[in-house]
Chains A and B, each alone.
Chain A
Amino acid sequence: KNEVEQSPQNLTAQEGEFITINCSYSVGISALHWLQQHPGGGIVSLFMLSSGKKKHGRLIATINIQEKHSSLHITASHPRDSAVYICHTGTASKLTFGTGTRLQVTL
């Protein structure tokens, strides 16, 4: 069992829909990251959070340290949001990555 579990693995949405991607982890952490990997393969860091909520444009990330759970929300989704979203956490010596959620937003 992976120490970091993401759900769903695949997600298809229509443009404009509100999207939620979940990340649960079993290790004690001080922070969690959300990454975005575009079809071309490049990986971009979206959020780093250790408590509460962060917002960047249409993206919102929340974390509940006690419940060991984080969510990434996308409001008013757009086809350009189509990508793989990866959460990762861990300790200073070992980062653990989720397997990713593949999001496809259609017109």
Chain B
Amino acid sequence: NAGVTQTPKFRVLKTGQSMTLLCAQDMNHEYMYWYRQDPGMGLRLIHYSVGEGTTAKGEVPDGYNVSRLKKQNFLLGLESAAPSQTSVYFCASSSRWGGLNTEAFFGQGTRLTVV
């Protein structure tokens, strides 16, 4: 069972470089989310999507863009990477919005280092 798959798992970028993180889910979930996890802080929502073709800003959206061209895929882009974006990124999906009354499924995470 694949569930939620993130690629790549690790990446090192130079300041100013761009990259795209891919999240794919095979559960036909409507809702998808991108979080970042930093030491001493809880997971923080970057962007989310409530359906194909729609995206919205979360708590910490600056420096990131997203796209949901297909229901099963949610892409997170960094146009010009900065050291402050060094973090572990998690993608998640759920069948219903809200997260509280529904279970979210998480990917394995992407460890990104910007030097």
B78 within 8 A of A: no
CA of A94 to CA of B100 in the docked complex: distance in angstroms? 10
Q: Is B100 in contact with A92, judged by CB distance below 8 angstroms?
A: yes
CA of A96 to CA of B108 in the docked complex: distance in angstroms? 20
Instruction: Say which size band chain A's interface belongs to.
Output: 20 to 34
Residue of A nearest to B42 (CB): A97
Q: Is A2 in contact with B100, judged by CB distance below 8 angstroms?
A: no
A45 within 8 A of B: yes
Instruction: Say which size band chain B's interface belongs to.
Output: 20 to 34
Q: Is B43 in contact with A88, judged by CB distance below 8 angstroms?
A: yes
Q: Is the interface of B mostly helix, strand, loop or mixed?
A: loop
Q: Is B100 in contact with A42, judged by CB distance below 8 angstroms?
A: no
Q: Is A96 in contact with B42, judged by CB distance below 8 angstroms?
A: yes
Residue of B nearest to A100 (CB): B42
A89 within 8 A of B: yes
Nearest 4 interchain pairs by C-beta: A97-B42, A43-B106, A41-B109, A31-B100
Give B contacts to A, CB under 8 Å. Answer: 40-45, 59, 88, 90, 92, 97-109, 111
A to B CB contacts below 8 Å, 24 in the list: A30-B100, A31-B100, A33-B99, A41-B111, A42-B106, A42-B108, A42-B109, A43-B92, A43-B106, A48-B100, A50-B101, A88-B42, A88-B99, A89-B100, A92-B98, A92-B99, A92-B100, A94-B45, A95-B43, A95-B99, A95-B100, A97-B42, A99-B40, A100-B42
